[in-house]
Every structure is written in structure tokens, then in C-alpha cells.
Structure 1
Amino acid sequence: MSHEFCSNVCSLGRFPYFGVQIGKQCFCGSSYGLHGQLSESKCNKQCTGNPEQICGGSSINSVFALHYPSNNAYTVLKNSDISVTSTMDSSWPAAAQSDADCLLQCSARANCSGAVFSKQLLACRLLPFAFPPASLTGPGWAVFIKT
């Protein structure tokens, strides 16, 4: 566990806060402060992945804010011209005429971290986490992740 590791995990879900506790636990959240602020001296556990950092204490979180760019820029994570199939749910819930249409739908939702667009199916799957689902099916798809 380290601050970087926990922040990377929480940024997949675009959470505004992450917290580390007892040197080895990571928490992601949309708010903090329910129990109030404690003295920093209570945060005294070294991070197991980086002993130069402090990762909270016993039942006490060190909390940090995450910041994301305000623009709606996307990175192409993967393109495929082959079909990928799985026994998992493989529905494509949204119709889209183009990859731009799909990304516009993603940009309009606060909980969208990326999208998968199938040019042959003219379909779009919005992703709450910046990680493609294991159940991608359909020919000619591309995965886009918000940057």
C-alpha cells in the first residue's frame, strides 16, 4: 500500500477522495469528515508499500483529495476488429451513431469514466470505472477512457 497505489485505484472510479488506514488498507469515497478531524499524531502507521509515507492509524484514515481535469478528453485504450465473447452479460445498453456520439453520452454523465463503442453494432456501453468489462462482445469495438 502507498498513496500512489490507493489514489490510482480510486481514480478508476473517479472518486473525489481516497483514504489509507493502518498502513495497508485503501478506501475510496465521495465525502469525508463524518467523524471529524483528529490530530495528525494519530496517523502513525507507515505504508507497507512505501515506508516513507504515513498511511493512517488504527481505525483512522489519512484522507486525500483527488483532482481531475475539467475537460472531456479521452484516450483510446484498445481497438479490436475481432469479436470477444463471454458467458457474462453482454448487452449494449445505448444506441450510438458514432464514437463521438458515444463519448458525448459519457461526457453527460458524472459517473462515466469511459465507454466502449462498437462501430458495426452502432452501440455504446458506458463504463462507471475506467476498466473494460470482461463481457465485451461484438465486432469492431474501441475502448475510450477519460483522461
Structure 2
Amino acid sequence: MYSPDMTLGVCSNFCSLFGFPYFGVQVGKQCFCGSSYGLHGQLSDSKCNSQCKGNPEQICGGFTINSVFALHYPKSNAYTVLKDITVTSAVDSSWPAAAQSDADCLLQCSAKANCSAAVFSKQLLACRLLPFAFPPASLTGPEWAVFIKT
């Protein structure tokens, strides 16, 4: 994942959405998620000399060099995808979030303590965050994917 505002937190949050045990940052703006690390061996810390674009106080790897970190999961940050949901409620307590993919949408939800679920439409490139795991009728149907925090 590329982000012009990359920080260690942005990358770790993104990789934790998918349950990866490791994340790496490179050249100040790239994020990689992985199930293992160490294939090419360990380099000197001095090779990691790129400041994170979103926080110059942090180091985000170097040119073709990853800074690698382990992720630990004290509590679940997983989502359950609901399909073919039918809701008749017209009450909409959701709020919009900028997202280009379902992963971006889930990242936004994970960053908010009061987000219990998210809905995303690939057709509309629209993300809505929900304080309750109960989407309104206007945000259900075949074009919307519903993700419930578990």
C-alpha cells in the first residue's frame, strides 16, 4: 500500500485488518504486510534512513529496504462479512468516510472507537461507518458489502 501520509501506525493498522503478523515500511511511503520475514537476512539499522512521510519523527525503511515490525493482537480486530442482508429500517445513523476500497473503509472503522460496522460499495466507491451493527435499508442490497466487527 502506498500513502503520501505514511506512518508506522497507518501501516500497522492496515496490516492488522487482515490479521498479518508482520508489517514493513519502505522508502517513507510504502507499506507491506506479511506472514514471515527474514528471507534476505537482517541489515544494519543505518540502512533504514527514510523518514515517514506522515511523521518525520519516525523511520520508514530505506530505498528498497524494509523496516519490519511484529504485530500483536490482544483483542480481535476482525470483521464478519454479511451477505444478502435485508433491512427495513429507514433510520440512518451512519457517517461517511473517504475510501477507495473495502480495506480503506475497514481501516477507517478500525480507527474509530465508536464504529461497530462498515458498509462499502465498490460501484459507488462509498464507505459508511456505523455506530451499531445494523445498517439502514438505504445501505443494503447487492451493491453494498456489510462488515461487522467481531
**Coarse TM-score class (shorter-chain normalised):** 0.5 to 0.7
* Residue 134 (structure 1) shift: 2.7
Contact 2:119 / 2:146 at 8 angstroms: preserved in 1?
no
Q: Which whole-Å CA distance do the structure 2 matches of 1:30 and 1:132 have between them?
A: 27
User: Unmatched 5+ residue regions in structure 1?
Assistant: 75-112, 121-128
Q: Which whole-Å CA distance do the structure 2 matches of 1:35 and 1:51 have between them?
A: 27
User: Unmatched 5+ residue regions in structure 2?
Assistant: 1-5, 88-102, 107-117, 123-139
The residue aligned with 1:134 is 121
Q: Which whole-Å CA distance do the structure 2 matches of 1:20 and 1:51 have between them?
A: 13
User: Taking every aligned residue pair, what percent have the same amino acid on both sides?
Assistant: 59
Is 2:149 the counterpart of 1:145?
Answer: yes
SS of the residue 1:35 aligns to? coil
RMSD: 2.8
Contact 1:116 / 1:132 at 8 angstroms: preserved in 2?
no
Is 2:8 the counterpart of 1:3?
Answer: yes
- Total equivalences in the alignment: 97
TM-score by length of 1: 0.55
* Residue 20 (structure 1) shift: 0.3
| Structure 1 residue ranges, 4+ long, deviating more than 4 angstroms after superposition | 129-133
Give matches, 1:88-99, under 5 Å. Answer: none
Deviation readout 1:103-136 (Å, 9 max, x if unpaired):
xxxxxxxxxx32134478xxxxxxxx65655375
Q: Which whole-Å CA distance do the structure 2 matches of 1:28 and 1:142 have between them?
A: 24
The structure with the largest alpha-carbon Rg is 1
